[in-house]
Every structure is written in structure tokens, then in C-alpha cells.
């Protein structure tokens, strides 16, 4: 194959899925001349699995992406068919937004955004080989011999690396949804010394909506209240489509039992590790055989299609068994299967080979993001893509690197977990992975990240000024509530009684009254006769910040402690083998992960407090030695 | 980890007439002020630095006077660690010094890691490079031993109990997490405030019990309750006297209403024992019948350790065998006394009856075998891994301090539940309690929760 010089860029992004799209947009937005290379331009931001975005933890990631100037929130706000706020009966820390997506519209909108972005070039092509010189990436060569030169490369190949689809005893080389797999690039990464693991994930069958008897299912509508992920969204889609709920039953489970020998999961054909939080239906039935039924959600894939995603029925059983399964489920007796479910195995790189910027430790200026790093989920991919894009561009442009801490964002938790602990199954974010989830709320993503987004050039001045104004209104209102006295007059007592609280004995400050469980902001506002009418978002912030002040304060104290440890940096050139006293296991783990700070070191499993103490002493010793020379 | 206030006993254990508990860190003075009462009523914060003060330590929770002490007050930077330092000089002896340590830990100090004072001195630029090397060796050496102790205790009753509490908490936490992360998953009951409250109350009451009765805590306050039993004239009183003579008695007291039960406090190789001699009880013909006397039975039941004395120069009697039966589920050591006389006892049969229990032969008259017995007691307590009382009581104080912390966090959870705070926020304190209890038994693996989640629930969406 003759080669030719195809162009020079600051940053090349390989892949245009959820990670690639964010990486490319971020890099371009930061001011880097960026190329995004994808196998198929019609598959930009494709959702090979469920047609939904958000949910607990993940929804907060979408908000964080938005606050940092990313695209996912804006795009889903324009293309969803349903939105729901989850966990509304619980505290503010765990509320989360979830949207059902119109998959095709989502792709089109993302593609449009990318096409509009200046500094960003889209090109269809297959990356085969990275150009690496002196341990530093220089660009890549495509299948057709195009040589693309760049200072940084971001690889976001999802499940394409040596992807293999498995249905029953059929197994063939493929990316998701029968796209081309990436074989040459996988071999190239192996040659370059990347350690990989084999993961597996799966997807359920899709059926035609016209063949569903909805009368036998329960309706699951969206919220009546307009909702949006992006802080910038001003137009809301109110025309929503419902989802539907049905259940498996004894008969379904009998079919699975009778055909288990045909399942590649159980015949030993699938070796890759699958995610525990998203098991196949055969897994659910085998592992929880006392459960008489499992939930099946029927989710429309879009407005202009009749295809319906059968959430909960992920399987790799042969197609004829999948048909039987569907027929056993109420409402789906006559279901017309449009696509069969399948399992997919793929290579993921071991993520402890990355720095917290998502740059590879082996090859300078090479970044990886998304499912290739062992995660699962569109939001996890997008969050990483955004950070990899920001850092790839920052490095080229000589700007500061951006690492979010565990107390800054769920994205910080995600990346820190990956690069510090690695993962032995496809990694999904869960709220329980965050130590400071009270600080990492859905509502305050802008409070946490807009400042940073603006500083690095991802958030416009205009948006930033709006944010500052909002912040100021929140601060002023809190100050007002802390000062204003509420007298125990009859009107006040009446309102408190009506809310089910006990009467006031004395006058009380507005903020203190708001702390009572039965009170909310609107009540206090009425009692204190405020003249300015504030936006709902401001009211929400005021209420949460005042009501949960004690808890928030407690979390902040913990964060302050952690910060001291984060600030104790470990020199990059440290040689753990020359430090006497560190236990062997800790020594190996530290050498592998090469943590940047003492805090990160202490999160590595197998590194105990004594090792940390020794490390601290050693580093201090080095510092003193340097000074005294 | 850094920059908090640490405390530890800084004198060798048990031996000296005076022991020192040292505190270092930004909270050292406020903590001491919480506990210390000078006759003048003056607060330490008002005093001149580098001075010594006489006064009492008073438990602020019970207002009980704990110790008469001399307290050295040294403000940073001219101190060993270059931080504020308080040294509390109290009476020597394991019980009193541990009581003081437990008190300062409760008041907000953290138990120092081995070598931590020296480490701070180094980090704050107080000592030089060569000394630092020594610190690292020290940290490693001491920690390995501390870990041995921790491992030994893993087997113990305490860790089992803690394990039960943690599992109960974990199930609630997992359930809560499922509610949060899988809000549509309908197969798990919604975790509600009343359920959370009930469970938290139960855990708190168990922690209360542990704090009151855990053998570890008991040792700190009153020693390991040790009862000497055996037929008449096997040498019980001689054994008591030998143990007391060999070891300096810490306290001697005669219980007011039960003058016939004598208690002696002794320190056997770092293990504090409260020796209870039933010898004072009027002896009846049938020893088992005597055990049946309500009071003696109670003493026996509450014993942490039994020293069961047999006569080497007489064959085993039916009574001896019945006594084996009476103590069979307890911790005991068989002491075969009077080896100065010809052997009549069938040692193989004794061994068969005693199973895996330790046998020690003595001649108390000839002063033989006492060392072996003391070693056996220490072995039993430390499971043979550690020399005289070095780390163990410290880690006990650590347990107690952690239990107090857990008590605090679970109380916060209870208060929040009563205040109708949202369940997922109550759970923050519940999770913290679970983590603190994990520190007691050294189980801080953070994938425990996820494993629980995925094994307990069948999750999808």
C-alpha cells in the first residue's frame, strides 16, 4: 500500500463514539487543530445498547460534562423522547436525571455539532498503526496509507478492538451491531507494549412496537415538569413517549434452563469477564433461581422508528431460543423480533497503564478514553473522552493539565478508580463509589466545575458571567435568610402547624427555620416577605445549602483532610525499589501505578499505612537532601 | 493522617512507678484542657509554656476523677515534634496508664502509629537524615508485629461480634445503595427511616454492650477475670500467693459483701489478671456441689480464664472429672501441682480430658513451674506471638477508641433519623460506622460493598 502525507494536526481522535465525540469537540474547543477519524461517519455517537442517557451517578456525570463545556447534555436535551428525575423521594445527593434517547436524532445532532465546530475536521477512515518515535506518538497511518501527523493522539475505540460477536454457538469477528472490528490497531497496541484484558458485554433483542400488546404491560411515562441536563438549555421538549414494563415468568425461566447448554456463557465459549451490574437474563435466572420473575422494560428507540429495546433481556442464547423467550412474556407473545440480542467480547487496555490525565505511561502524548479503558456506559465514556480531549489539547498548547479529584466530580472518581485500582470487570459508576456524594450532586455540577471550565477555555465568557451572577444571588439569599428574623405570630404558627411541625417558642432566623424537616424554601420565602423572585435553580441551591449545612460541612472537613494528602506530591522519578522498608506487594503496586500524590498512593489496594509512612519520610528526606546540596 | 493529634504511652509498659502518656498535635492543648483540672482552676491555654502542673484528670462524660497526674505543657515549636506537646505523668501500671490513654483517645486524639512521634519530629525538621533511616526501620518492624496481633485478634470473639454488626450494617447499606442506583428495581424493599433507625439503635446497643463487656475493654479497666478452682488441698491458695508474690500486686481489695471471695490484681507478663480465689468459701464435701452455690457459679461463669489445679500425688477422682465437665466450654489451663511428691495421677487421662488445653506441672512449695504457668497465661492471651504486653494493650486501647468513634457516628445516624433527614443522608453516618468497625478488625477492603450488592440483588437496568 503506497503511503501519502494526509495532513498535520495538533490532536487526532480515533473513534467518534461517546468518548471520541467529546474528546474531539473538547480538543477543538480548547483551540487545538483537531482531526477525528472514524470508521463510519454515519455511526457518530451511536448507542449500540440501551437508548437512554443518565440515571444515578451517570446522570450527574452528564451534568458535569455540561458544566465543563462538553456536548452530551446539550445533545440529549434536544433529542430525547422522555425525561425523568429519579430518586425524588430521597435526599438531594442522589437525585438523578435520566433521558430516553431518540438514537438516530442523537447521532445526527452530535454529528452536526462536530461539523459546526471550527478547528475540527471529520474524516472517515480506519487507523491501523500509530507512529511512535522515542517513546512519543507522532501521528498514525490509516488502512489506505494516509499518514496523519499530530502532537497528540486520543484513542477511543470502544469495543472494536478484536471485537467478536457471539450468539449461541456462532462466533464471528465484528464490532458492535455488525460493524468492522479493529484488528490491526489492536495488534499495533500490543506491539507497543500495552497490556490488555478480555471483557464481555451484551445486548438484548429489539422488537417491532406494532407487535406488542401494550394492554398487558404497565405504562412508565416521563415527568410532567420540564427538565434538562444542560445548564444552557432553554427550550424543553414536552412531547414525550412512554416506556412500558412487563415481567418474565416461570415459563421464561424454564426455557432458559432447558437451553442453558446452548448459551455461550455456560458452554465456556465466552471467556471474557462481563459486568455484574448488567447481567444477561440467563445469568439472572441461574444466579437468582428463587426469583419468580424479572422486570422487562420496553423502551422505544426513537420517534421515527418502531424498534423497541427489550431492557432486561440481554442474552447470547441462539436466535430461536430468543424468540421463545420473547413469546413467553406477557405482551410480547406475538413480538416480531427485528434484531437478535448478542454478546460481544473485546480487548480493553489495563487502565493502570494511564496517568490520571488519561495519557499513557508508556507512550507520551498518547491518550485513551472510554470503553477501551475497561469501562461500560455512554456517560462513563463521554466523561473520559472529555478529559482526554482537554488534556491532549492542553499538552499540545502548553496549558495546565486537568485532573479532577474525587471531591470535584464523579468523573474524578471514575478516572481515579481506573488509574489507581484498575478494574477486573467492565467498570460502571455507582453512587456508592463516591466518598463525597453529598458534595457531588446533580444540582451543583455548575457550582463545582464552571470556574474550571472557564479557566481552561471550555466555557464561554458569557456563560461564565451568568454563572457568577447566579452564584452571587445564591450567596445573597443565604445571607439574607441567616439574618432575617421570623416572629412567632399567628400566621407563622399556622403555617408551621399545617406543615406538621411544632410551634415556635421564640423568634427564629429564617435559615434556622428552613433547617426543620417540614419546612421548604417557598414557605420561608412567604414568611420573610422577600421582594425579589428568584429562579428555581437558585431557590434549590439555597434550600439545599441551608438545609444540609451540617452534613455538607462534615464532608468538606473530610475533603480538607484529603486535600493535604493530595498536595503531598510524589516525584515522578521516584524509584520504589530503592526505598528500604516498603513491603514487597506495595513496592510492586506503587511501581506499576506510579501515583502522583500520597493520597493516590494510599488508595492503591495492597499499600498499607506503614508503607505510606515510609514513603512520606523518604520523600521528605529527598526534599531536604536537595535543599542542602 | 498527618496533622491530627496523636497520643501514645511513651514509657515501657507496666514496670516503672511512673508512666507517661504523650500527646502531640494542634489539638493537644484543647484535649488536655477538656480533661485536666488544676487546683487553681486555670486552663492550660492560659499557662506559660514549658511548665509542669499538678492536678486531676476528670472524665468529662461521667465527671469521675480518673487519675492524679503531673502534666507537662509544651507549646510548639520548641518540642520534640515541633508541635504542641502534652505529657501526662501518671501512676505506673498497666491499668491506670491505659485508662489515661483511653480517655485522651476518647477526647479526640488518635492513637499514634509506631514511630509516629519520631516521624513527625523528622517531618517537621527536628531530626536529621541518619535518624530518619532508623525511623523507617522502626515503623516497619513495629507494624509487622502489630499486624500479627491484629491477625491473632481476627480469630477472636471480638472480631466475630464486630463482623456480625458490620454484616448487619452492610446489608442495610447495600439495600440503600440498590434503592439509589436502581430506583426502578422493584424486588428490594425500600429502605425506610424506621428500618434504618431500628437497625442503628440495635447496632448502638451492641456497641454499648461491647464497650461495657468486651473482654478487651474489661482488661483495661479491671483485668482478665481469672478463677482458681480445684478440690481441697490441691494448692489453690499457694498458687494465688505465688502469682501475687512473683508479680507486684496492683490493687488488693476485699469485696465488701462477699468477704469469702478474695480478689487480687496482678500483672502477669503484660496481661493484667484479676485473680479470684474461691478458696475462702467454706469447703463442703462435694466440690461440684460447692460450685453449685449461686455466687460461685456466677464467678465461674463470668471468668475469662480458669486455672484448674490438680494434685500430682493423687489419682484422678470422680470429682475431678466432674469439674472438667463443669469448665469444658471455658478458657482454662490445667495446673498439676505437687510434683515434689511421687506421681499417682494418670497424666494421659488428664491430657485426654483436657483436650487441646494447656497443661502445666508445678511444685509451688519448691517454687517450680511458675514461670511456665505465666508463659502459658501470656501465650493464651497473646496466642504466643508477642512478648510481655508490648503492643496488645495499645491495640486494645485502639479498639476502644474506635468503638467510641463508631458509637458517635451511629448516634449521629440515629439523631438524623429522628430528625427526619433523608435516608440516603442518614446512610452516610451508617457507612462511616461500618468503616470504623472495619478498622477494628483490620478489614478495610473497599470492594466489600459492591460484592454484597451484586451477590444479594439481581440487578439489571
Alpha-carbon torsion (A82, A88, A90, A95), positive or negative: positive
Per CB-CB distance under 8 Å, the chain B contacts of A91 are 421-425
Query: Distance between CA A346 and CA A129 in Å, rounded?
Result: 18
Equal CATH topology for A206-344 and A461-549: no
**How far away is chain A from the Cα of B220, in angstroms, using its nearest Cα?**
26
Q: Do B419 and A565 touch (CB under 8 A)?
A: no
A-facing residues of B in 418-447 (CB < 8 A) are 419-425, 428, 445-446
B168-178: average pLDDT: 88
Least confident piece of the model among A351-355, A503-507, B11-15, B146-150? B146-150
Give chain B's mean pLDDT: 75
Question: Which residues of chain B does A605 touch, with a Cβ-Cβ cutoff of 8 Å?
Answer: 445-446
Does the beta-carbon distance from A565 to B1 stay under 8 Å? Answer: yes
Domain regions of chain A by residue span: 4-199+345-456, 206-344, 461-549, 568-621
Task: Note which residues in 100-159 of chain B have CB less than 8 A from chain A.
Answer: 113, 115-116, 119, 122-123, 125, 129, 132-133, 135-137, 139-140, 143
Which residue did the predictor score with more confidence, A317 or B299?
Answer: A317
Q: Cβ separation of B458 and A278 shorter than 8 Å?
A: no
Cell of A450: 464552571
Pairing of β A146-155 and β A366-368: parallel
A-chain CB neighbours of B113 within 8 Å are 609-610, 613
| CATH number, domain A461-549 | 1.10.10.1800
pLDDT in tens, A438-483: 999 999 999 999 999 999 999 999 999 999 999 999 999 999 999 9
> A304: exposed, middle or buried (C-beta count within 10 Å: 0-12, 13-18, 19+)?
exposed
- Hey, are the CB atoms on A432 and B453 less than 8 Å from each other? yes
Contacts of A94 in chain B (CB under 8 A): 180, 424
Average pLDDT, chain A: 93
Q: Comparing A181-190, A394-403, B104-113, B124-133, which segment has the lowest mean pLDDT?
A: B124-133
User: In whole angstroms, what is the distance from residue A36 CA to residue A179 CA?
Assistant: 18
Looking at chain B, which residue has its C-alpha nearest residue A424? B447
Residue B451: what pLDDT?
Answer: 66
Produce one character per residue of B80-92: b if its CB has 16 or more CB atoms within 10 Å, e if not: bbbbbbbbbbbbb
Nearest Cα of chain A lies from the Cα of B118 at a distance, in angstroms, of: 11
Given an 8 Å threshold on Cβ–Cβ distance, is B181 in contact with A432?
yes
Which one of B171, B418, B424 would you mutate to disrupt binding with A, by most A Cβ within 10 Å of its Cβ?
A: B424
Question: Chain A: nearest CA to B172, how far in angstroms?
Answer: 13
- Summarised one tens digit per residue, pLDDT across range B393-408 is 334 566 777 888 899 9
d(CA B438, CA A274): 29
Chain A residues lying within 8 Å of B172, measured CB to CB: none
The DSSP 8-state label assigned to residue B72 in this structure reads E
Q: Do B423 and A612 touch (CB under 8 A)?
A: no
pLDDT score of B200: 93
pLDDT reported for residue B98: 78
Q: How many helices (H) and strands (E) does chain A have?
A: 21, 22
Nearest partner of A38 among A98, A131, A125, judged by Cα? A125
Q: Does A557 touch chain B (CB under 8 A)?
A: no
Taking only Cα atoms into account, the Rg of chain B, rounded to an integer number of angstroms, comes to 26
Question: Which residues of chain A from 418 to 447 reach within 8 Å of chain B, CB to CB?
Answer: 430-432, 438
Asked if residue A219 has pLDDT above 60, the reply is yes
Cβ of B140 and A610 within 8 Å? yes
pLDDT value at residue A91: 87
How distant is the Cα of A431 from the closest Cα of chain B, in angstroms?
7
| C-alpha span between A576 and A595 (Å, rounded) | 11
What pLDDT, on a 0 to 100 scale, did the predictor assign at position B138? 54
**pTM above the 0.80 mark?**
no
Distance CA B331, CA B325 (A): 13
- Return the bridge partners of A297, or none: A245, A311
pLDDT digits (tens, 9 = 90+) for B193-249: 888 899 999 999 988 877 765 444 444 445 577 888 888 788 887 888 788 765 544
Residue-wise pLDDT tens digits, A226-285: 999 999 999 999 899 999 999 999 999 999 999 999 988 888 788 888 877 778 999 889
CB–CB contact B184 A295 (8 Å): yes
Annotated ligand binding at A285? The verdict is yes
Q: Is pLDDT at B184 greater than 50 in this prediction?
A: yes
Using alpha carbons, select from B31, B12, B40, B18 the residue that is nearest to residue B73.
Answer: B31
pLDDT of residue B218: 44
Q: For position A40, what pLDDT does the model report?
A: 95
Q: Tell me, what's the pLDDT at B397?
A: 60
> Can you tell me the mean pLDDT for A298-324?
96
Please report how the helices B116-123 and A609-628 are oriented relative to each other, as an axis angle in degrees rounded to 10: 30
Which of chain A's residues have a Cβ under 8 Å away from the Cβ of B181? 56-57, 430-432
Per-residue pLDDT averaged across A19-48, rounded? 97
pLDDT in tens, B50-73: 999 999 999 888 888 888 899 999
DSSP track, A390-451 = HHHHHHHHTPPP----TTT-HHHHHHHHHHHH--SS-B---GGG-TTTTTS-STTHHHHHHH
Q: Alpha carbon of A437 to those of A414, A448, B200: distances in Å? A: 13, 13, 21
pLDDT value of residue A277: 76
What's the first-to-final CA gap in chain B, in angstroms?
39
Q: Which three cell numbers stand for residue A106?
A: 442523537
**A148 annotated as a binding-site residue:** no
Q: Which residue of A has its CA nearest to B127?
A: A621
Residue A288 counted as an annotated binding residue: yes
Q: What is the pLDDT of residue A620?
A: 74
Q: Are strands A170-173 and A34-38 parallel, antiparallel or unpaired?
A: unpaired
A294 touches chain B (CB under 8 A): yes
Place of cell 417557598: A522
Residues of A in Cβ contact (< 8 Å) with B442? none
CATH of range A206-344; options 2.40.30.260, 3.40.50.850, 3.10.100.10, 3.20.20.70: 2.40.30.260
User: How big is the A-B interface in CB pairs under 8 Å?
Assistant: 133
In eight-state DSSP terms, residue B46 is G
Contacts 24+ apart (CB under 8 A), A541-547: A541/A443, A541/A444, A541/A447, A541/A474, A542/A474, A542/A477, A542/A478, A542/A481, A543/A514, A544/A92, A544/A441, A544/A443, A544/A444, A545/A474, A545/A478, A546/A478, A546/A481, A546/A511, A546/A514, A546/A515, A547/A514, A547/A515
Confidence bin at B123 (pLDDT 50/70/90): confident
Mean pLDDT of A540-552: 93
The topology (CATH level 3) of A4-199+345-456 is FAD/NAD(P)-binding domain (3.50.50)
A350 interfacial to chain B (CB closer than 8 Å) = no
Q: Cβ contacts (< 8 Å) between A92 and chain B: which residues?
A: 422
What is the edge-to-edge ordering of all strands in the sheet holding B51-59?
A: B36-37, B51-59, B64-74, B85-91, B18-24, B6-9, B110-111
pLDDT tens digits for range B72-98: 999 988 888 889 999 999 887 666 777
Residue B277 pLDDT level (bands cut at 50, 70, 90): low
- Locate all alpha helices (DSSP H) within A484-509, ordered by sequence: 490-498
- Residue A617 has its nearest CB partner, among B136, B183, B450, at B136
Architecture of domain A568-621: Orthogonal Bundle (1.10)
Output the CA torsion sign for A612, A616, A618, A622.
positive
Would you say the ipTM is above 0.85? no
Residue A95 confidence (pLDDT): 92
Q: Domains (ranges, CATH) in chain B?
A: 6-112 (3.30.1360.120), 131-213+394-454 (1.20.120.430), 224-382 (3.40.50.300)
User: What pLDDT does residue B393 have?
Assistant: 33
Chain B: residue whose CA lies nearest to A623: B123
User: Which segment, A267-271, A427-431, A499-503, is predicted with the most confidence on average?
Assistant: A427-431
In angstroms, what separates the C-alpha of A277 from chain B's closest C-alpha?
Answer: 6
pLDDT value of residue B384 = 37
Q: Tell me the pLDDT tens digit for each residue of A564-591.
A: 888 889 998 899 988 877 888 889 999 9
> What pLDDT is recorded for position B156?
59
Task: Answer whether residue A309 shows pLDDT above 80.
Answer: yes
How many angstroms away from the CA of A127 is the closest CA of chain B? 34
What pLDDT score was predicted for residue A17?
A: 97
- Which of the residue ranges A414-423, B40-49, B382-391 would you say has the lowest mean pLDDT? B382-391
Contact, A327 vs A254, CB < 8 A?
Answer: no
pLDDT over 70, % of chain A: 99
Amino acid at each position: 500500500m503506497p503511503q501519502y502525507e494526509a495532513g498535520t494536526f495538533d490532536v487526532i481522535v480515533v473513534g467518534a463514539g461517546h468518548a471520541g465525540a467529546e474528546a474531539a469537540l473538547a480538543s477543538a474547543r480548547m483551540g487545538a487543530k483537531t482531526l477525528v477519524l472514524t470508521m463510519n461517519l454515519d455511526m457518530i455517537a451511536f448507542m449500540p445498547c440501551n437508548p437512554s442517557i443518565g440515571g444515578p451517578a451517570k446522570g450527574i456525570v452528564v451534568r458535569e460534562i455540561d458544566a465543563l463545556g462538553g456536548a452530551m447534555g446539550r445533545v440529549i436535551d434536544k433529542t430525547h423522547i422522555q425525561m425523568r428525575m429519579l430518586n425524588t423521594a430521597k435526599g438531594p445527593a442522589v437525585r438523578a436525571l435520566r433521558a430516553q434517547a431518540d438514537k438516530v436524532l442523537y447521532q445526527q445532532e452530535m454529528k452536526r455539532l462536530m461539523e459546526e465546530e471550527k478547528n475540527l475536521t471529520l474524516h472517515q477512515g480506519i487507523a491501523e498503526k500509530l507512529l511512535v518515535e522515542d517513546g512519543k506518538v507522532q501521528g498514525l497511518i490509516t488502512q489506505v496509507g494516509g499518514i496523519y501527523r499530530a502532537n497528540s493522539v486520543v484513542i477511543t475505540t470502544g469495543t472494536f478492538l478484536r471485537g467478536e460477536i457471539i450468539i449461541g454457538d456462532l462466533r464471528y469477528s465484528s464490532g458492535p451491531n455488525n460493524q468492522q472490528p479493529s484488528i490491526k490497531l489492536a495488534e499495533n497496541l500490543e506491539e507497543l507494549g500495552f497490556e490488555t484484558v478480555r471483557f464481555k458485554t451484551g445486548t438484548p433483542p429489539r422488537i417491532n412496537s406494532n407487535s406488542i400488546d401494550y394492554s398487558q404491560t404497565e405504562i412508565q411515562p416521563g415527568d410532567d415538569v420540564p427538565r434538562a441536563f444542560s445548564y444552557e438549555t432553554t427550550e424543553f421538549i414536552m412531547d414525550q413517549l412512554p416506556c412500558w414494563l412487563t415481567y418474565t415468568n416461570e415459563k421464561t425461566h424454564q426455557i432458559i434452563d432447558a437451553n442453558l447448554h446452548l448459551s455461550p456463557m455456560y458452554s465456556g465459549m465466552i471467556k471474557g469477564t462481563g459486568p455484574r451490574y448488567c447481567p444477561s437474563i440467563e445469568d439472572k435466572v441461574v444466579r437468582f433461581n428463587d426469583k419468580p420473575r424479572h422486570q422487562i422494560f420496553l423502551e422505544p428507540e426513537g420517534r421515527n422508528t418502531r424498534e423497541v429495546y427489550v431492557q432486561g433481556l440481554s442474552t447470547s442464547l441462539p436466535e430461536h431460543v430468543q424468540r421463545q423467550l420473547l413469546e413467553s412474556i406477557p405482551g410480547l407473545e406475538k413480538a416480531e423480533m427485528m434484531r437478535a440480542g448478542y454478546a460481544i467480547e473485546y480487548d480493553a487496555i489495563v487502565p493502570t497503564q494511564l496517568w490520571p490525565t488519561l495519557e499513557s505511561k508508556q507512550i507520551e502524548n498518547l491518550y485513551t478514553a472510554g470503553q477501551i479503558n475497561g469501562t461500560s456506559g455512554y456517560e462513563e465514556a463521554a466523561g473520559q473522552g472529555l478529559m482526554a480531549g482537554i488534556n491532549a489539547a492542553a499538552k499540545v498548547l502548553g496549558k495546565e493539565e486537568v485532573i479532577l479529584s474525587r471531591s470535584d466530580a464523579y468523573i474524578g472518581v471514575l478516572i481515579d478508580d481506573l488509574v489507581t485500582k484498575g478494574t477486573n470487570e467492565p467498570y460502571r459508576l455507582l453512587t456508592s463509589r463516591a466518598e463525597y456524594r453529598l458534595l457531588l450532586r446533580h444540582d451543583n455540577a455548575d457550582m463545582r466545575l464552571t470556574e474550571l471550565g472557564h479557566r481552561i477555555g471550555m466555557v464561554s465568557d458569557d456563560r461564565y458571567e451568568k454563572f457568577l451572577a447566579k452564584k452571587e444571588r445564591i450567596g445573597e439569599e443565604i445571607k439574607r435568610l441567616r439574618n432575617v428574623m421570623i416572629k412567632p405570630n399567628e400566621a407563622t404558627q399556622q403555617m408551621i402547624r399545617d406543615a406538621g411541625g411544632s410551634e415556635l417558642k421564640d423568634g427564629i432566623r429564617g435559615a434556622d427555620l428552613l433547617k426543620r424537616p417540614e419546612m421548604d424554601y417557598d414557605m420561608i420565602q412567604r414568611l420573610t416577605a422577600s421582594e425579589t423572585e428568584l429562579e428555581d435553580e437558585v431557590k434549590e441551591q439555597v434550600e439545599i445549602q441551608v438545609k444540609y449545612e451540617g452534613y455538607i460541612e462534615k464532608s468538606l472537613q473530610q475533603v480538607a483532610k484529603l486535600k493535604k494528602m493530595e498536595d503531598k506530591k510524589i516525584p515522578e522519578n521516584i524509584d520504589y525499589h530503592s526505598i528500604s522498608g516498603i513491603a514487597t506487594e506495595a513496592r510492586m503496586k506503587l511501581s506499576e501505578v506510579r501515583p502522583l500524590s500520597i493520597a493516590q498512593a494510599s488508595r492503591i489496594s495492597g499499600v498499607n499505612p506503614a508503607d505510606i509512612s515510609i514513603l512520606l519520610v523518604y520523600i521528605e528526606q529527598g526534599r531536604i537532601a536537595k535543599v542542602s546540596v | 493522617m498527618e496533622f491530627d493529634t496523636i497520643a501514645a504511652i511513651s514509657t515501657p509498659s507496666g514496670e516503672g512507678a511512673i508512666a507517661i502518656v504523650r500527646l502531640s498535635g494542634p489539638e493537644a492543648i484543647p484535649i488536655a484542657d477538656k480533661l485536666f483540672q488544676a487546683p487553681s482552676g486555670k486552663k492550660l491555654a492560659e499557662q506559660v509554656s514549658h511548665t509542669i502542673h499538678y492536678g486531676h484528670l476528670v472524665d468529662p462524660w461521667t465527671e469521675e476523677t480518673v487519675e492524679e497526674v503531673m502534666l507537662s505543657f509544651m507549646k510548639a515549636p520548641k518540642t520534640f515534634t515541633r508541635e504542641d506537646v502534652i505529657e501526662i505523668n501518671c501512676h505506673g501500671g498497666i491499668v491506670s496508664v491505659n485508662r489515661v490513654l483511653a480517655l485522651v483517645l476518647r477526647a479526640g486524639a488518635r492513637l499514634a502509629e509506631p514511630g509516629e512521634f519520631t516521624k513527625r519530629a523528622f517531618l517537621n525538621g527536628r531530626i536529621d537524615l541518619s535518624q530518619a533511616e532508623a525511623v523507617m526501620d522502626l515503623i516497619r518492624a513495629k507494624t509487622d508485629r502489630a499486624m500479627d496481633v491484629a491477625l491473632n485478634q481476627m480469630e477472636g470473639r471480638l472480631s466475630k461480634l464486630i463482623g456480625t454488626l458490620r454484616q448487619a450494617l452492610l446489608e442495610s447499606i447495600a439495600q440503600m445503595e440498590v434503592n439509589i442506583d436502581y430506583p426502578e428495581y422493584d424486588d428490594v424493599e425500600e429502605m425506610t427511616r424506621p428500618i434504618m433507625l431500628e437497625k442503628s439503635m440495635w447496632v448502638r446497643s451492641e456497641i454499648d454492650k461491647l464497650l461495657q463487656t468486651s473482654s478487651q475493654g474489661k482488661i483495661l479497666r479491671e483485668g482478665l477475670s481469672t478463677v482458681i478452682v480445684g478440690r481441697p488441698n490441691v494448692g489453690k491458695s499457694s498458687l494465688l500467693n505465688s502469682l501475687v508474690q512473683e508479680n507486684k500486686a496492683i490493687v488488693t481489695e476485699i469485696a465488701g459483701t462477699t468477704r469469702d471471695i478474695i480478689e487480687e490484681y496482678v500483672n502477669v507478663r503484660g496481661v493484667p489478671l484479676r485473680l479470684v480465689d474461691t478458696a475462702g468459701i467454706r469447703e463442703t464435701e462435694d466440690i461440684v456441689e460447692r460450685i453449685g452455690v449461686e455466687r460461685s457459679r456466677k464467678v465461674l461463669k463470668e471468668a475469662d480464664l480458669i486455672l484448674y489445679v490438680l494434685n500430682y500425688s493423687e489419682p484422678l477422682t470422680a470429682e475431678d472429672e466432674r469439674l472438667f465437665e463443669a469448665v469444658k466450654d471455658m478458657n482454662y489451663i490445667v495446673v498439676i501441682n505437687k510434683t515434689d511428691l511421687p506421681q499417682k495421677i494418670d497424666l494421659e487421662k488428664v491430657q485426654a480430658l483436657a483436650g487441646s488445653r494447656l497443661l502445666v506441672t508445678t511444685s509451688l512449695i519448691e517454687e517450680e513451674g511458675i514461670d511456665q504457668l505465666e508463659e502459658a497465661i501470656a501465650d493464651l492471651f497473646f496466642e504466643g506471638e508477642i512478648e510481655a504486653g508490648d503492643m496488645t494493650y495499645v491495640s486494645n486501647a485502639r479498639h476502644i477508641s474506635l468503638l467510641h468513634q463508631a458509637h458517635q457516628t451511629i448516634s449521629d445516624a440515629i439523631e438524623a433519623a429522628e430528625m427526619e433527614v433523608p435516608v440516603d443522608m442518614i446512610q452516610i453516618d451508617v457507612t462511616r460506622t461500618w468503616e470504623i468497625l472495619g478498622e477494628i478488625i483490620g478489614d478495610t477492603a473497599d470492594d466489600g460493598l459492591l460484592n454484597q450488592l451484586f451477590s444479594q440483588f439481581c440487578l439489571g437496568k
